Amino acid sequence: MPGFTHWLQHDTAGLLTLSAVGIALLLLLIIKYKVEPFISLLIVGLLVALAAGLPVEKIVGSAQKSSSSLLEGGFGGILGHIAAIIGLGTLLGAILEASGGAQVLTRSLLRAFGERRAPLAMGLSGLIFGIPVFFDIGIFVLAPLVYVAAKQGGRSIVLYSMPLLAGLSVMHAFMPPHPGPVAVAGLLGVSLGWIIIMGLACALPAWFVGGVLFSSWIGKRIDLPVPAEMLAAAEKAKEQGEDRPEPSLGLVSTIIGIPLVLILLGTFGSIALPKGSAVVGVTTFLGTPAVALTIAVLLAFWLLGFRRGLSRKDIAELSAASLRPVAMILLVVGAGGFFGAVLSATGVGKALADTLSSAGLPVIALAYVISCGLRIAQGSATVAIVTTGGIVAPLVVDHGYSQPQLALIAVSIAAGSIIASHVNDGGFWIVSRYFGIPVKETLKSWTALETILSLVGFGMAALLSVVV
């Protein structure tokens, strides 16, 4: 056994083999045995660490000293960076959804663009509302408006739903405060300001190609009516909400934009303004993601909640309900951080770096390929992102990558995490069931759309990596 661990620790092929076996075991646990990704990542991380011969004290610590262990350091390092951001982002999305902000935004766009360009309006609605709101919540809230628009336009529901889905998907994949981009930013050590800049630079072209061009093409080739029961449910929901006052479009847009503007001010302020000045201190403080999101959440609670008749109890119940699903996301991300810390400690990162150098394969390409493979194999975008981030993180340490370059690597990982959504992805079934699209047609439309968004997003990241 000592000879085996010595071989693993000092042989590149052995380290790469250990990494490959670990990932294969991870996929086996998740796909075949249906073990929760959080538990699977934890188990595989521990087994890889033991197989590599790492000291037990380094893996889990000891009774006298545990703070420096891989287990606590891996979990705590990433969760300390992302937990507050994801929690605050979730609260912001919840109050915007509960206040009717999504409906206000979408109806305003529908009126502005008219019936003929209603699919484009739905796409823009998904793009904007997708910034603070999780993908599946965005579908639940905006689907009734898709039903009504498709019925009034007399055209296929595919033509109206795909642009909306494209907008929600690219924002969820590429933009903070969503879990994927926030988690990979923490793993790679890149500021969220640069994630926002590069995420938008890659997401918007992907949305245009997939959400506008492809959606228009496929929507004319798959002719599906709005299911009668869905349309009836949409009309009932509309009647129930008529007595509830809605916020103004300007207010909704302002609250969505505040955290993004503050984070970007913090990023650019530290670059453009004199170091050590009072203004830099202010912009840095306000542009800290947790601070920027706290400001936005407090404004949303006051302007969209208390001033519109919600009580403290209502706000508390809304907050508690919205935060419940976040727990498993955080556990998965934390376990992914531990798995990545183990891979780094075993020397897999250096082995990969040496192999890449000899093969001439850029890190950004490797990151995308690994993320794509994990996504297609097990379906979860979050698992694909945190696992890939853990593998790639050691490759970027001490290699002189700038913040924009790191952000583009993060975007490439995010792009890979959404490719080829199919039957092992919960999002596939949400799309199919909510819009009444049969499985075959869902593969032709939604799966193809996700693949286009992924490829264009990565293509933009790779192109930008050449010039930054």
Mean of the per-residue pLDDT values of the chain: 88
pLDDT of 239 higher than 60: no
CA distances from 246 to 96, 229, 311, 321, 448 (A): 11, 26, 17, 22, 36
**What stretch of H or E contains 332?**
helix 326-346
- How far is Cα 124 from Cα 164, in angstroms, rounded to an integer? 7
Nearest in space to 167 (alpha carbons), one of 190, 197, 142, 147:
142
Cis peptide before 177 (omega within 30 of 0): yes
Which of helix, strand or coil describes residue 362? coil
In whole angstroms, what is the distance from residue 320 CA to residue 400 CA? 42
What the block records as the tokens of 301 is 């609670």
Buried b (16+ CB within 10 A) or exposed e, 330-367: bbbbbbbbbbbbbbbbbbbbebbbeeeeeeeeebbbbb
Q: Whole-structure pTM over 0.85, yes or no?
A: yes
CA-derived radius of gyration, the chain: 23
Q: What is the pLDDT of residue 394?
A: 83
Give 400-458 pLDDT, tens digit per residue: 899 999 999 999 999 999 999 998 899 999 999 889 999 999 999 999 999 999 999 99
pLDDT > 70? residue 88: yes
97 falls in which pLDDT band (50, 70, 90)? Answer: confident
For the chain, report the end-to-end CA distance as a whole number of angstroms: 47
